[in-house]
Chains A and B, each alone.
Chain A
Amino acid sequence: MIFLFVLTLLQIKVPDAQTVVGPPKGLPIAGAQLDQRTNEVASLLRCPVCQGLSVADSPSTVAQDMKQQVRELLARGYTQEQILSYFEHSYGQFVLQKPKFQGVAALVWLLPIAALIFGAIVVFSKAKQLEQGPAAVPDAEPQPVDPYIARVREMVEKS
């Protein structure tokens, strides 16, 4: 209790999501639903001090603070989209585990699809070539007839 009182005295005004993303667009949630949604939304945010960990998975204090703020915002009725926008406003797209489909980040989505299409074209055209059989060899110059072979053929035909 004393701790909370000291905390209130020390923190008169902290930045609020309302100034960035406006009032909550959803309904306040609580209990088990709040726990579940906190984990879901926190897993969409990247921990800024970790290597490849989400805010939901990281034990770092920064990630814990971020997770706590996600929880508070969900409890007040902020939507997932609003919460992600709020964190993106401070940290940039870096903080989003799933990059947005815009600007250079769109390449992250487009390049694998382009690579798949290109690969499919290569495989398809190769398969078609194999189906058609080996390419016809242009007529070579008539080979000189070996007199021995010619004689054997002649004998075979006669017999």
Chain B
Amino acid sequence: MNRIVLISGIVIAAALVVVLFVGLGKDPSAIDSPLIGKPAPAFALKAVGSGQTVDVARLRGKPAIINFWATWCGPCYQEHPTLVQNARVLGNDVQFVGIVFNDTEQKIQAFLAERGSAYPTLLDDSGKTAIAYGVGGVPETFFLDRSGKIVAKYSGPLTTEELQANLAKAMK
């Protein structure tokens, strides 16, 4: 009996150690998106400034990057130059779209005027588009292949290396 209790204790403790080791090694903010492998949720929002309508259906044909951000988000300031720079270089082959939620058009325009812009920025004022994409914190970026299917999601500020590594999945 004592041996059974001892062995059971060791098995339970070992299982706990494995769970903690795996769990603590993960980034708590990185949540796997259930949308990966599925068509991008539909939306048609007007671009801030130009008033041009961007429909997700029209993004098909080229790989696309949809970046959720906001002017009140600190890491978004850090990420913005990377996105603008890459959009200027890859603009002919990849479609970039920014979606801003819980923000005002005035603040977005001021942000873009100061920090530059190279692609349409859409306002999701009700937050419904962000919810449909399962966005928690910003910035979060979705990578779509030519058919409009989500192939990758990145949480946190992107670097050029991370952007290109995820984009490679969308280019296949």
Contact = CB atoms under 8 A, between A and B. Distances in A.
Contacts, number: 96
Contacts of B44: 12-13
B132 A15 contact: yes
B5 A11 contact: no
B46 A61 contact: no
A91 B34 contact: yes
A51 to B, nearest CB: 9
Interface stretch (B81-89, B111-119, B133-141, B160-168): B133-141
Main SS of the interface on chain B?
loop
B45 A11 contact: yes
A100 interface: no
A39 interface: no
Contacts of B102: 61-62, 65
- Tell me if A's interface is mostly helix, strand, loop or mixed: helix
A10 interface: yes
Given A65-B102, A90-B134, A11 B125 contact: yes
A89 B102 CA distance: 22
A12 to B, nearest CB: 4
A132 interface: no
A4 to B, nearest CB: 10
A88 B38 CA distance: 14
Interface residues of A, number: 29
B46 A10 contact: yes
B134 A92 contact: yes
Contact of A15 (B5, B8, B32, B129): B129
B130 interface: yes
A137 to B, nearest CB: 18
B170 interface: no
Given A61-B102, A65-B102, A118-B8, A15 B128 contact: yes
A91 B134 contact: yes
Given A10-B105, A49-B136, A62-B137, 17 more contacts: A7-B125, A7-B126, A11-B124, A11-B125, A12-B44, A14-B43, A14-B126, A14-B132, A15-B41, A19-B41, A49-B137, A65-B101, A69-B131, A88-B34, A91-B31, A92-B33, A92-B134
Interface of A: 6-7, 9-15, 19, 48-49, 61-62, 65-66, 68-69, 87-92, 94-95, 118, 122, 125
Interface of B: 1, 5, 8, 31-35, 41-46, 51, 53, 55, 101-102, 105, 123-137
